[in-house]
Structure 1
Amino acid sequence: MAFPHSLRTRLATNLFAKVAGPNGAETRARVHDTPGPRWFAEDRPIRRVHGDASMFVGGLRALLLQSLHPLAMAGVAGHSDYRGDPWGRLQRTSAFLAMTTFGAEVDARRAVDQVRGIHRRVHGTAPDGRPYRADDPHLLTWVHLAEVDSFLLAHQTYGARPLDQEGCDGYVADTARVAEALGVPDPPRTTADLAARLAEYRPELHGTAEAREAAKFLVLKAPLPWAARPPYAVLAASAVAMLPPWARLPLRLPYLPLAEATAIRAAGHGLVRGIRWTLTA
């Protein structure tokens, strides 16, 4: 019995290092040990969703969906080193989510201020000639909608304890607090409002060369050791399977409804359960 335990510990250590980075232990201690009030009580839905292993699938789905807005994608292509340092981006995102969801209010506010400072410096001109700014409230809203929709859908599909309708609305309402702090005007507070707001962006969404390149990198060319490639392929397939059909054609991603409802769904459940088991070591 000692071998499985030691293997699980090694897997947990390696996965945590990839997701949290070299300062992960320090960040985790600050998140959970710093005294003071939090933005969200322990029974809030945002804590259940953001603390579940299904976030791995939801995060990848969010990146793919976000890339469909040409101005948002132009900002990523021009200012984010997602190809050269994908793990660094993941680590910064996971630290932000941990701080704002579980951390002390003072640290949550500091994390938001840091992101807003970065957004103020990100601006330029998209390939189609339109100017963009990362702190544009319209673009901030799109990024927020894509994230919330993706995280919630992944949780309801692969989460250990899916939410009821009241909980789903509560999750959307919880995320609105963080969104407003980031500069999103009047974010949605129910799933119905979330769906309606997403639909409003449909006419603006297109598959650009930059978006297709990002999707290819995220789905097929992520820099991983050979041993990690099979589970990542399951993760990527699960994320793609949760995209609506209208979002796949512009990114040249496949639509295989029968396989997605059977083999991919089963493999996704197995993968998320494995991640959950590993992280509770």
Structure 2
Amino acid sequence: MTETVAKGDAVAGGEAPDPGLFGPESVTWQLHADPIMWVAGVRALYLQALHPRAVRGVVQNSEFRKDPWGRLFRTADFVGISTYGSRAEAERIGKRVRRIHSHLTAVDPETGERYRIDETALLRWIHCAAIVSYADVARRAGFPLTDGQLDRYFAEQRAAAGLVGLGPQEVPDNGAAMRAYFEDVRPALGRSEESDEVWEFLRRPPVHPVLWPARELLWRRIADLAYGALPSWAHAMYGHRPLPPFAVTAGLRGLRVTMSAVLPVVRTVYESPHIKAAVERLGPDVMPSPARLPRDLAAPE
């Protein structure tokens, strides 16, 4: 059983508690616990699907059609473990991901080319599309992330990129570099048959018929906000009209306020197992909060 310790105290055997890849003083630690991350994750899927080679690798090598919810939850589990798990746990899940990816390929239906899905360019795209979505949606929803903290977040995320096989110099580590990356990669993006599949799934995910009304009332709102939060060039590629920008911003802010208000109640019934384990490992004062965002904005070494 994990022994609860105060932050900085030694555990049995004289070893300090393991803060993991980022630690409780990081931007990542605070941001990834915000409830609006669920909407940000959906936005990431919309954006990632606009890279034909990347989305083709997902559709051809996963149970996406049979078990789309499973893929969503496995992605959330990876983010949770890499953020709040011990370094050993993060490295273990990274090793598993790299091993799986190393055996997978995809085929371009137009050219017949077979390619590895762990190409650096594809891994970089999945990484960047995800963390940009997390940060963009959070800021638009009212999460108090300054430009300096955003730069620090991108720099911190080099550690997460390393788990999937990317080197620290292979991913953007600040806002300016990230903007330059997206300008460079846009010619490779576009709508495809596979991106349309992702679009349809995210709009109408498979659920039991009893849940159809809830899907239309609740999930559709989340999907609309996530899609609306994409950049205008992504909307043009998909070809579907988004909500007006002011409605997206107001909707995200209202949803975050509501979710934050009910979060304490939710936590009495269900707490994220990753955050719970981190608090047990490091002590109760490491509970993630926007109030704990670091003030020292120097990029981590």
Q: Is the shorter-chain TM-score for this pair beyond 0.5, marking a shared fold? A: yes
Q: Residue 193 of structure 2 corresponds to which residue in structure 1?
A: 209
Structure 2: segments with no counterpart, 5+ residues:
5-16, 266-301
Counterpart Cα distance in 1 of 2:262 and 2:117 = 36
Counterpart Cα distance in 2 of 1:162 and 1:83 = 37
3-state secondary structure, aligned to 1:132: strand
Q: Residue 245 of structure 2 corresponds to which residue in structure 1?
A: 260
Matched, 1:91 2:73: yes
Structure 1: segments with no counterpart, 5+ residues:
1-25, 30-34
Counterpart Cα distance in 1 of 2:260 and 2:152 = 23
1:54-93 matches, cutoff 5 A: 54-93=36-75
Q: Residue 135 of structure 1 corresponds to which residue in structure 2?
A: 118
Which has the higher mean CA deviation after the structures are superposed, 35-44 or 87-96? 35-44
RMSD value over aligned CA atoms?
Answer: 2.2
- Whichever residue aligns with residue 133 of structure 1, its letter is R
Counterpart Cα distance in 2 of 1:230 and 1:271 = 14
Which has the higher mean CA deviation after the structures are superposed, 46-55 or 128-137? 128-137
Q: Residue 103 of structure 2 corresponds to which residue in structure 1?
A: 121
Q: 1:118 to 1:277 in 2, by over 3 A?
A: farther
Counterpart Cα distance in 1 of 2:187 and 2:215 = 37
Counterpart Cα distance in 1 of 2:25 and 2:138 = 16
Matched, 1:244 2:231: yes
Q: CA deviation at 1:152?
A: 0.6
- Give CA-to-partner distance per residue, 1:157-176, whole Å, 9 cap, x none: 115x3211111001001111
- Whichever residue aligns with residue 211 of structure 1, its letter is S
- What percent identity do the matched residue pairs reach? 32
- Whichever residue aligns with residue 223 of structure 1, its letter is P
Residue 152 of structure 1: which of 127, 135, 153 is its match? 135
Q: Which has the higher contact order (CA 8 A, sep 6+)?
A: 2
Counterpart Cα distance in 1 of 2:189 and 2:225 = 22
The answer (yes or no) to whether the contact 1:137–1:184 under 8 Å persists in 2 is yes
Q: CA deviation at 1:239?
A: 0.9
3-state secondary structure, aligned to 1:188: coil
Counterpart Cα distance in 2 of 1:275 and 1:114 = 33
TM-score by length of 1: 0.81
Counterpart Cα distance in 2 of 1:177 and 1:135 = 17
- Give CA-to-partner distance per residue, 1:162-208, whole Å, 9 cap, x none: 21111100100111111023222321110111111111111111211
The answer (yes or no) to whether the contact 1:74–1:127 under 8 Å persists in 2 is no
Counterpart Cα distance in 2 of 1:253 and 1:88 = 26
- Give CA-to-partner distance per residue, 1:33-92, whole Å, 9 cap, x none: xx5241112121011111111211111111111111111011111112223212211221
Which has the higher mean CA deviation after the structures are superposed, 111-120 or 75-84? 75-84
Q: CA deviation at 1:271?
A: 2.5
Counterpart Cα distance in 1 of 2:18 and 2:68 = 33
TM-score by length of 2: 0.76
The answer (yes or no) to whether the contact 1:59–1:151 under 8 Å persists in 2 is yes
